[in-house]
Amino acid sequence: MVQREDGDQRAVMSGLFRKVLKTVWVLINIVVLIALALSAWDMHRNRRAAHFIAWFVAGVFVLLAVPITFYEVAQHLENYRMPRLQRHVIRILFMVPIYAVDCWLALRFKDGTIYFDTIRECYEAYVIYNFYAYCTVYLQEFCNPGLEQIIARKPPARHIWPISAFLDFPRMGEPFLRLCRHGVINYVVVRPLTTALAFVSEANGVYGDGQILNPLVAYPYLALLNNVSQAWAMYCLILLYRATHEELAPIRPFYKFCTVKAVVFLSFWQGQTLLFMVKMQWIKVSQRETKTDYDAAEVATAMQEFLICVEMFFAAIAHSYAFPPSEYFGAQIPKERRMIDNIADMFDLRDVYHDVVNYGESNQERLSHRWMSFVGLFTGKQPPPLASPSTKVRGQQESEFARLVDSSGRPMSDVEMSRIPGIGSLNNGGSERSAGDGRVYGERSGGGSRFD
């Protein structure tokens, strides 16, 4: 009883300290923002270069935003009770410092803007994938009777207009999940490919950054491909949310989705709007007044970098409310788990690798089957039907289990097997689920989960 009272007292004192710390932090931010406005005005009055003032102001916002995210990440790592969920949360939270620092450097070194921007946009695809994975892991691990069964029980649906005019909606169940999964992963694959093409184009002087109306450069074509791929990935996320919003309700998916979409999707249209306004001369560029050698396209790009640096401060605050570590305080944390283990798990990218490989193999098989079907129209020999994806995956898992045991010369432990994506689930038929590191971290709904 005494120990329990001491624990409650420590919890109260810890909560009080956090409130005091947050109040002090808010006051410091208010003082810094007021001082920043006065400093920027003073530099403008003393005729400092516009790009220097913008770089200084953006740097202050970056310095305010980055510590917020690092604090939230540190809190998640300290309370790393649900690794398979929290690893995706941390990857999403890192979007703020990566975006902020990247744009700040691009604002300072305008000749390297293409390299900084493509790094940021590649991480953008990674964030979309992790949000999708976050939702599907929760549905699979914390909801009865599992992700595929939940979707299969949903009533038939239709695509949103105008997509419904030329695409049939897949059957609810595994086909619907495959559509969503492949739709998200397509951007993870397309974005690095277009990045490589952008680098090659820039090296040959035909990239034309920002020249959206110039048909003789690569930029408008790569921008179109990226935008279509990104829009399809976000649309697939919307389909998944629309189908599972009731099951996802305990993790407040709407606020999480809005914070991710606002940063990922709106930032692109913000940049295109600025570029259009400069092209239409609604935002006039005077090299004499700005004391720079920026052309119209570079001014639009610099304004985009500056605005993102400022917006990341508010995005960091929004993320702290949308992805709070307090959501995981109710779960039990293993005593033997070390901080270094949590950090290593955060950077473990095997889940991404396996999903991308499966995406490539699946599409390769389907394209090959369609080609053989087309050839069969002339030869009279039709290929055998494709195996059911769920049956195929189950067979692959069982054969992979045997192969791993045989090649190692000894049976793998449960911890080792649980680290292989898709294998650990074969041994977890009950309500307890693997945390991805061999430890049990929760139960399905009805068993006392934090998210019940």
pTM of the model: 0.74
Average pLDDT of the chain, as a whole number: 76
How many other CB atoms are found less than 10 A from the CB of residue 348? 15
Which helix (DSSP H) or strand (DSSP E) does residue 442 occupy?
A: strand 440-443
Give the pLDDT band of residue 101 (cuts 50, 70, 90).
very high
Whether residue 105 is predicted with pLDDT greater than 60 in this model: the reply is: yes
pLDDT in tens, 121-137: 889 888 989 999 999 88
The pLDDT value recorded for residue 444 is 39
What does DSSP say about strands 432-434 and 440-443: parallel, antiparallel, or unpaired?
A: antiparallel
pLDDT in tens, 212-242: 778 889 988 998 998 899 889 989 998 998 8
Cα separation, 424 vs 402, whole angstroms: 13
Cα separation, 318 vs 315, whole angstroms: 5
In terms of phi and psi (left: phi > 0; alpha: psi -120 to 50; beta: otherwise), the region of 169 is: beta
Q: Taking Cα atoms as reference points, which of 20, 42, 40 lies closest to residue 32?
A: 40
pLDDT in tens, 42-56: 777 777 777 788 888
What tokens appear for 396 in the block? 């692959």
Q: Which residues contact 151 (CB under 8 A, 6 or more apart)?
A: 172, 173, 174, 176, 177, 243, 244
Which helix (DSSP H) or strand (DSSP E) does residue 83 occupy?
A: helix 83-93
Question: Cα torsion for 38, 40, 46, 51, to the nearest 10°?
Answer: 180
Cα separation, 116 vs 60, whole angstroms: 19
Going by the DSSP 8-state scheme, the letter that residue 164 receives in this structure is: G
